[in-house]
Amino acid sequence: MEKVKKDKMFTSVSVGAATVWFSTHCGAGFASGTQELNYFANHAWYGPFLPLLTIAIIAITYYVGVETARQTGKWDYHSWSLEAYKPIGTVGSILLEIAVVVTVIAASAACISAGANLGVQSFGWPMWVGSVLMFAIIVVLSIFGEKVVRNNAMIMTIGIIIIVLVVLIAGLIKFGPVIGQLISDRYVNPASAKWGITGAVGTTPGNFGNAFLWALTYAGFQMGIIAGSASAFKGAKSKKESKGFAILGYILNAAMLTGVCFLLLGGMPGIWTDKAARTLPTLYMVGQLNMPILKVLYPIMLFLALVTTAVGLTFGMVERLSPYMFKKMSNVAIKKGIIALGVLLVCWAVSTLGLMWVVQVAYKYLGIFNWFAVILPLWIFGFKNIKARDKAAKVSE
């Protein structure tokens, strides 16, 4: 009976960890639509199809992380990365450390900034009230372990998916003919953002090569989420669970990202040329639907997305720092709470730079860095080390 249980692909652990990935992915940039517009929808009719490739790259890389953590029983990203990057374990661990720290700071900063602004726009709160509320919720959910993080992610993911589906179904029905016509006409945005090493400088007539580079960059800056996903995978027993995590995570993230991209395509080219629409694209499209209920549901979705993203990232950082800080403190919950609060204070300082700066600048450089620091090394060394451990396990049986 135990063997049958271990051989299941979809367990509470694999499903929970997959929802941690999804809910962490659905952050400020995702929920607002700024990421989908800047990295996919603004380029051409084929832009909304590129998330299918992007999420596949992410899923393959995350699989290496969670399977390495499972094989070695080392759940914080520093410990399992030493094993995954062998024979350059120390160097690789440092590279992943940089990637995770920058991601936690940048993405959590974006969530805090968006959360504070959401409070102002939706409830008329002062900025500091929204920030304090975000701090409190994130700290509480980050200190009670992987089970709480998984359960929180599963519950909030259900809410996010339901609300996103309502928006997508309504939006795709209304804008379906426009989307179909743009695809039929092979629409290309003549003013799509130009990709460049030093940043997006000017525009370029939409072309597949330019759009492809933006899609690859998106995959790159998502790598920091691997830390929280691997930590949430604690308790997994078999390789099938790792595969289940990657498969379910791919389906959830690819479906939602692609759907939002198609919705935004329905607003082209006006959604790109209108500065106000470009700032909060999804909100702009929701406004075009003339459905009062969505004016209530959308802020709820955005709030859930912000909380789950910040919790997933902060949890990974708390697990990393916990063994090395406040070693004499016996109360683990208080200890983790202090660490989480310290991490969030740093993130808050960065949040003062604004959401658009994070999405357009910080994520861009992070995406390029992570291809060389995380994706390629884990594909080259990570899979090789996984196979070696599998072979060693068979020999010892």
Mind giving me the DSSP string for 116-181? HHHHHHHH---HHHHHHHHHHHHHHHHSS-HHHHHHHHHHHHHHHHHHHHHHHHHHHHHHHHHHHH
pLDDT of 64 over the 90 cut? yes
- Is residue 395 a part of any domain in this protein? no
Give the tokens for residue 246.
């990657």
For all residues of the chain together, what is the average pLDDT?
84
241, containing H or E segment: helix 239-265
- Is residue 88 a part of any domain in this protein? yes
> What's the pLDDT tens digit per position in 234-280?
999 999 999 999 999 999 999 999 999 999 999 988 888 887 778 77
Give the tokens for residue 262.
């198609």
Q: What is the mean pLDDT of residues 104-111?
A: 78
Q: What is the mean pLDDT of residues 347-375?
A: 78
- Is residue 392 a part of any domain in this protein? no
Tell me the whole-structure pTM to 2 decimals: 0.83
pLDDT band at 3 (very low <50, low <70, confident <90, very high): very low
- Please state which of the ranges 7-11, 99-103, 307-311 shows the lowest mean pLDDT: 307-311
Helix H, strand E, coil C: the string for 45-73 is: CCHHHCHHHHHHHHHHHHHHHHHHHHHHC
- Is residue 354 a part of any domain in this protein? yes
Q: What is the pLDDT of residue 283?
A: 78
pLDDT of 1 over the 50 cut? no
Spatial CA neighbour of 106 closest among 235, 275, 222: 222
pLDDT band at 215 (very low <50, low <70, confident <90, very high): very high
- Is residue 1 a part of any domain in this protein? no
pLDDT of 69 over the 90 cut? yes
Spatial CA neighbour of 198 closest among 68, 361, 322: 361
pLDDT band at 2 (very low <50, low <70, confident <90, very high): very low
What type of residue sits at position 362?
A
pLDDT of 4 over the 60 cut? no
- Is residue 157 a part of any domain in this protein? yes
CA angle 381, 107, 319 (to 5 degrees): 60
- Is residue 389 a part of any domain in this protein? no
- How far, in Å, CA of 305 to CA of 28, rounded? 7
- Is residue 2 a part of any domain in this protein? no
- How far, in Å, CA of 250 to CA of 236, rounded? 18
Q: What is the pLDDT of residue 205?
A: 66
> How many folded domains does the chain comprise?
1
Q: What is the pLDDT of residue 199?
A: 53
Q: What is the mean pLDDT of residues 51-63?
A: 97
Give the domain CATH number at 16: 1.20.1740.10
Which residue range is the domain that position 183 belongs to? Answer: 9-383
> What's the pLDDT tens digit per position in 362-382?
778 889 999 999 999 999 999
pLDDT band at 356 (very low <50, low <70, confident <90, very high): low
Phi-psi bin for 86: left (phi > 0), alpha (psi -120 to 50), beta?
Answer: beta
> What's the pLDDT tens digit per position in 112-149?
777 777 777 667 778 778 778 887 888 888 777 667 77
Q: What is the pLDDT of residue 70?
A: 95
